[in-house]
Structure 1
Amino acid sequence: MRRSLAAAFTLAMLVAPPLAAAEPIPEQHLSLEQGRLLAVHSLGTGKPELTLDLTRALLRADRRDHLAWYLRAAAQARLKTPGAGRRSAARAYRFSPDSAGKFRAAQLAARLSVQDERPTLAQIWLRRTAIHAPDDVSEKRIAADYKILRRINPWSFQLRGELKPSNNVNNGADSTLEVIDGVPTLGRFGPRSVALEGTVGVLDMSLSRRLHESRYSLTTLSLRGYVQRVALSSDAKAKAATLAQQSRTSVPRNSEFGSTYAELNLTHAFAIGAPERKSSAAIGISFGSAWYGGDKSYDLIKLTARRSWQLSARTGLTVHGMAEQRLDPRGPSQDGEVFGLGARVNRKLQNGDQIDVSVALRDIRSGHVNTSNRTATLRLGYQFAKPLGPAKVSTGLILGRSDYPQFIAGFPARHLPDGREDTSLYADVNLFFEDYDYAGFAPTLRLRAGKKDSNHSRFQSRELSLSLGIQSKF
């Protein structure tokens, strides 16, 4: 026996003109199926008010009727009440039993969020539609809509996460024996100075707000938080305990290797010359604080500048510089001024692959000789346009050279005659599995290997790590 609506529909009053007062009005009871069909018909024939009445009765009979909630949301959209419609669409999404229903409801909720001038909510609903997208065409349409919303929305949020097992989570030395310029000393390193294996977790978040935008300029205020935490493996804890006993020091804890950085940044970017030249520049000022091992290291104020040129249809050049003043340092080793200069050339090849070459120079002038240094870094990158199997692939090779004109080390401590010199070589392979996404977020995998050589054995190290992260597709 078919269920009937909890409240009877007076069909003559709903769809027919009023009759004479003396005539009796026949009351007709509709089944749920008939009520749904009538609601669909009334919406299709331009009677959203009637649709609301019908869905109200349907929901009295069953509060989890996803079709009734969807029809109610569509009717509210017709009646220019997007806020109420979005809430109805959210319930339709919640109660829909299959992906097709959830996709349809999420799409409607996204459109109503735009009408309600809630672009951030619209972006959230678009990501939900990506979970239930039926095909590649729908996914491409979602990505295109998301890019439009990103331009509309003055707020922007970015999130990057990474989990990295590594054989050197603390950037420690390969050996416990101190060797300077090839000559062993009497010194031995404690548990905090040698390489320890474990897992590194990273969470990098940023929230931005466009303060002003025109055709030729953009001013943005952003807040960034970077958190890195370390978990030592059981073998590393056993090794650290043995070294601590030998050196008569305490056993290191995981929290001692964690770092945190927070920054508030104001940036003004502007076009230079004709728009078709795609030439631009930007200036910025940042205020930040850095912590290591749970203790505050220093505050900072930083000025940045960038200039970009589009040299040809496939080649671009960017030059950037920075000057940083560290304030209120915890100690002389955290004090100082930092100056940087860099350049990057990227070229897109005819087959769609991309080559990146970048160089960076940095000069740190610290209150302690052991942290005053000059560094040069060269990075070569290659990104393949076509995926390799299920993954998009990019690679990188990094060469680095650091020079410390003066350095105090050894047992007993003394100035190294030629200072300290480090040379590093690292390579990485990055895989992006965009077909295995959830709500537009897909996994990444990075393999990194390399070594650093130094005339002081404390700074000779090797690293082999495998990172698992997440990245947005759009």
Structure 2
Amino acid sequence: MRSTITALAAAALLLALPLAAPAAPASLSVERLRGLAVTALSENRLDEAEALSRRLLQYAPDEPTGLMISAEAALRRGDLDAAQGFAARAHPRLEGPARFRAARIVALAHARSGAYTRSQFWLRRALPDAPSPNARAELRRDYQAVRARNPLSMQFTFGVAPSSNVNGGSDTETLRLPGLPYDFTLSGDARALSGATVSAGVALRYRLRADRSSMTSADLHLSGRTHFLSDAARRQAPEARGSDYAQASASVGLRHAWRQEGWSGPAELSLQLARDAYDDAPLSNRLRLALRRSFAIDGDTDLSLSAETTRVERLDLDDGWWKPGLGVGVTRALGRDRASLSLDWREARTDRPDLGYEGLTLAADYDFGRRFGPADLGVGLTAEWRDYQSSRYVLEEREDRRLTAEARIGMPRAERWGFHPEIRLEAGRNWSNADLYDEEVLSLDLGVVSSF
């Protein structure tokens, strides 16, 4: 990681730091001690600079100039623990470029000592105080370099989404069962309930082994969502609670990626074991094996092929089945824009009504490279066809057709610590010959995403 401030620039910056007003020592004033220490540091007389800064800190233990001079001197002589300690103490007492420099010193000291995750944290802390666009760009490059060296990668997600259908309920109020001449009125909790969904998740990946042509890593994923019902939903279903529809998932896995000489893209083999819960009760266990291969068609176009199979064990039904799948996807850069198109086939091989199906999913997505005012924009459209082998609610095969559209609006100017808010608007409609599964949903997801 390169320093963004030269020795002389750092000295000038330190001279401009705010100074508290402690009692001055008899021999030298605080101002004089500070000036001498800065001069010694700029001339690379480290021992003298540290001695003067120690005298300065004797009279003002939290004086930011003394702390920063001590941090700079410790960094230059390779005492990483002392450098990050002094700079971390100075950081909350500084503002602007000086605060930026303090965070950079802590990040650099952590990176040199191999504490890459802590270094990434402090690089993000430095971002709001970057003094120029060039400093911000260099900070981002440093972050990418540290992330590449860090065997541990982390991704966090959080969102709040008002929705017209938090429970996946039906859009109809009545249901006619096969062979019966009259309609049943659906209970309130079987129909769509409006409210808000709160979701959060964390994904951890640890690099176990890597060389020039392959990498093996271990994964951990945790996610959950719960719901809060609106007043209208509580009137419709007085006994229902949003937590009745809460979901959670936990998974661990291994992933091996490799690229042989002459290949235009990498291949990846992954194994994942997961458990799902619903309404605070275990729902299913899943074991998934997947193989993916990517191809670079040209400089702007990538093709990916995938094959997978999943063993599903439903704990509530004491039954299990296989779910094989195949997929193909194309991604193309269109100047600064990026477009993708994918087609996936899935099959749930079970005779259980309303669970065994064969399905196709066609998805298109477009990210605009240019900014619309203060916002980044992306749009997507997904169409899904599912044919169920049998159903409790129709005599013939059940057929579902779903269409979902979404718009993503990122607000990078509201960035903080390298994260910015993103608004996701989603509208979906499912048409089914079984009235119970006719549903509509409109949701507005307010989330936070990483800027780099």
> TM (normalized to structure 2)?
0.92
Deviates more, 1:159-168 or 1:185-194: 185-194
Larger radius of gyration: 1
Q: Amino acid of the residue matched to residue 412 of structure 2?
A: E
1:427 lines up with 2:427 in the alignment:
no
The 8 Å contact of residues 225 and 261 in structure 1, kept in 2 or not, is answered as yes
1:162 lines up with 2:167 in the alignment:
no
The 8 Å contact of residues 177 and 183 in structure 2, kept in 1 or not, is answered as no
Residue 386 (structure 1) shift: 0.6
Q: SS at the partner of 1:49?
A: helix
Residues 79 and 369 (structure 1 numbering): CA distance in 2 closer, same or farther, change over 3 Å? Answer: same
Q: Write the distance in 1 (CA, Å) between the matches of 2:261 and 2:74.
A: 48
Q: SS at the partner of 2:187?
A: coil
User: Aligned residue for 2:107?
Assistant: 110
User: Aligned residue for 1:63?
Assistant: 61
Structure 1: gaps of 5 or more residues: 9-28, 242-250, 410-415
Q: Amino acid of the residue matched to residue 194 of structure 2?
A: E
Trace 1:217-366 onto structure 2 (pairs within 5 A): 217-241=214-238, 251-274=239-262, 278-327=264-313, 329-332=315-318, 335-349=320-334, 351-366=335-350
Q: Write the distance in 2 (CA, Å) between the matches of 1:203 and 1:138.
A: 32
Of residues 388, 393, 410 in structure 2, which corresponds to 1:404? 388
Which digits, 9 at most, give the CA deviation of each residue in 1:412-447, with x for residues without a partner? xxxx32121110111111111112100000110111
Task: State the identity as a percent.
Answer: 28
Q: Amino acid of the residue matched to residue 397 of structure 1?
A: L
Q: Write the distance in 1 (CA, Å) between the matches of 2:200 and 2:350.
A: 29
Of residues 362, 366, 385 in structure 2, which corresponds to 1:378? 362
Residue 347 (structure 1) shift: 1.1
Q: Amino acid of the residue matched to residue 318 of structure 1?
A: S
User: Aligned residue for 1:34?
Assistant: 32
Q: Amino acid of the residue matched to residue 56 of structure 1?
A: R
Residue 336 (structure 1) shift: 2.2
User: Aligned residue for 1:136?
Assistant: 133
Residue 181 (structure 1) shift: 8.8
Residue 455 (structure 1) shift: 0.6
The 8 Å contact of residues 4 and 30 in structure 1, kept in 2 or not, is answered as no
The 8 Å contact of residues 335 and 367 in structure 1, kept in 2 or not, is answered as no
> TM (normalized to structure 1)?
0.88
Q: SS at the partner of 1:371?
A: coil
User: Aligned residue for 2:352?
Assistant: 368
Q: Write the distance in 2 (CA, Å) between the matches of 1:121 and 1:398.
A: 39
Residue 184 (structure 1) shift: 7.6
The 8 Å contact of residues 5 and 58 in structure 1, kept in 2 or not, is answered as no
Q: Amino acid of the residue matched to residue 366 of structure 2?
A: Y
Q: Write the distance in 2 (CA, Å) between the matches of 1:406 and 1:166.
A: 30
User: Aligned residue for 2:75?
Assistant: 77
Of residues 403, 419, 422 in structure 2, which corresponds to 1:441? 419
Aligned residues: 432
Please, what is the CA RMSD of the aligned residues?
Answer: 1.8
Q: Write the distance in 2 (CA, Å) between the matches of 1:200 and 1:403.
A: 29
Q: Amino acid of the residue matched to residue 59 of structure 1?
A: L
Deviates more, 1:387-396 or 1:52-61: 52-61
Residue 389 (structure 1) shift: 1.1
